[in-house]
Amino acid sequence: MSTRSRAVQVVAATTAVGVLPVALAVLHLPRPDAATTLSPAASAAAVGTASSSTRWVALDTGTSPSITLNGPGGRTGAAQTLAQAADCGMAQGAAPSRYLSFSGSTGKSYSESLASFASGSIGVKEKKSGVSCYQVGSPSESLRVSLGAALRSALGPDVVASAASLDVELKQGAQIMATAKLKGAVTGVFELRSGSSIIAPAPLPGGVTATAVTNCTSSADSGPDAGVGDNCRWPVSTPSWLGADDGIVFDELTLTAVSGSFSLEGGGDGQVDPQSPLSTPNASIVQVADGVLDCGASTRTIAASADAPQVSVYRLGNADASSCVPVPYSLDTAPAYAQFLKPLDSQTTAQFLWDLTWRFPETAGTTALPDLKVDYEYPTPGTTVTLGWCPNPTFDDTGRFAGYPAGSITAAMDQEPDLAGTQFACVVSRSARPVDGDPDTVSSHDVVYVYGDAGMRY
């Protein structure tokens, strides 16, 4: 399944570096007044691509219930506890260990003690036993799902959810309202209808209008559990594999039973189609990003670690002078590698400045740093473009590279013709200094400009 985003990876393959004297670092790039290098070349140091929501939280309520943080490389960190507690309660682990936190309400305030888990289903505990103790029932019950402390520890304090794909079990023509909030402010309202509520839906509480309505075609009965026959897969906001980013992000999602009743599951009754293309297809999915980035703002800074660089990204104004809209982003590093991701289909003329500090090995006898290269990962990762100096640079009053106005980046400068639009990246500045240690190293500080859209395939 294809997901599309703007992204940039910078990879420094230090094995390609020759020897470099401690006292001198001469940049292995064309001179700033020379022609910009745009031709593909073998990887030595690169800038590349993928989806702004490459990470997700998986809620698994099947045979081995758990809540995990996942990415393209698999699970990250320890699993969060998810177990049945006494009297239909929920054991969801200590607060610092949680990726998601659950609380319930029977019409008044929310309390974790009112969240319930039994028989592979999460609901609101209005009594100590029976099927209804792990359901969310109308007209007054709601289940709140919040991003947890472990997620903020892993991805930074500004982490947000950009979408969800929920496995819900439905009863009695269930109608559900999902209210997305960010820092207490409503960012979107989503509605699921099933059975009789498709034909005659009840007004939503407070007279609100849903941002999007999903009709579930599976049966919604009032009898005993029917396996997956009364379950539905509900997209909340727009998961990356289903369509364009809708710009809605949240840190809290409240699920309210408007009619009938429902339970939140994650494969507890089996496979509910359509599955996600991710590695946890039966789970309920919450896609997460490190935060949102507006013009004139910077991402969080990821500190250097061993051979992984320090990196942050600053957003310039849009090249076509259009209004800036905050976009969700993900920032990541690995040895000799850095990656920045935003949705491909929103703010397509956004411009970014990467600020990177690399560590290269010091060996006597050379005056070269490794090249920087961009990898747009289309159709597959591995084809890179050597970056040259930015042509005709201009700088603002603070000395920051000002980017390019509309029309300055032409089709002839496109570095990935197989992708729609124009993709272009160039080097604003490079500087290096020796670092004493055991072994001695060279620290290279690079600023890279990036414009355009890129994508990758899962």
Per-residue pLDDT tens over the stretch 34-77: 322 222 222 334 443 334 557 999 999 999 999 999 988 899 99
In the block, tokens 């620290």 appear at: 443
Q: Which tens digit of pLDDT belongs to each residue from 266-324?
A: 998 888 888 888 999 999 999 999 999 999 999 999 999 988 899 999 999 999 899 99
Residues 259 and 309 in one domain: no
Distance CA(228)–CA(236), nearest Å, equals: 20
Q: Is 125 found in the same domain as 265?
A: yes
CB 134, CB 119: distance < 8 Å: yes
**pLDDT for position 5:** 47
- Identify whether residues 185 and 66 lie together within a single domain: yes
Select from 243, 261, 289 the last residue of a domain: 289
Pairwise pLDDT comparison (412 vs 248), residue with the higher score: 248
Identify whether residues 351 and 307 lie together within a single domain. Answer: yes
- Return the minimum-mean-pLDDT range out of 91-105, 269-283, 410-424: 410-424
Q: Are residues 80 and 228 in the same domain?
A: yes
- Phi and psi angles of residue 207, each rounded to the nearest 5 degrees, phi first: 70, 20
Q: Which positions ≥6 away from 397 have C-beta within 8 Å?
A: none
258 and 215 inside one domain: yes
Give me the sign of the Cα torsion angle 72, 74, 78, 84. Answer: positive
User: Within this chain, do residues 13 and 141 fall inside the same structural domain, yes or no?
Assistant: no
What's the total number of domains in the chain?
2
Domain range enclosing 128: 55-289
Q: Is the pTM of this model over 0.85?
A: no
How many Å is the Cα radius of gyration of the chain?
Answer: 25
How far apart CA 215 and CA 170 sit, in angstroms, is: 12
How far apart (Å, rounded) are the C-alpha atoms in residues 165 and 361? 45
- Across all residues in the chain, what is the average pLDDT? 82
Beta pairing, strands 45-47 & 55-60: unpaired
Ranges assigned E (strand) in 195-268: 212-216, 231-237, 252-265
Same domain (yes/no): 251, 273: yes
Domain end position, chosen among 239, 272, 289: 289
Of the listed ranges 346-355, 375-384, 434-443, the one predicted with least confidence: 375-384
Whether 25 and 168 share a structural domain: no
Among residues 229, 256, 289, the one where a domain terminates is: 289
Structure tokens at 381: 């990762």
Instruction: Check residue 434 and give its pLDDT.
Output: 84
**Structure token digits, residue 173:** 């023509």
Residue 191's pLDDT is 97
For the CA atoms of 92, 74, 188, 256, what is the dihedral angle to 10 degrees? -30
Residues 136 and 272 occupy one common structural domain: yes
Say how far apart CA 377 and CA 47 lie, in whole Å. Answer: 10
Indicate whether 29 pLDDT > 60.
no
Question: Do 78 and 47 belong together in one domain?
Answer: no
The verdict on 192 and 142 lying in the same domain is yes
**Is the model's pLDDT at 220 over the cut of 80?**
no
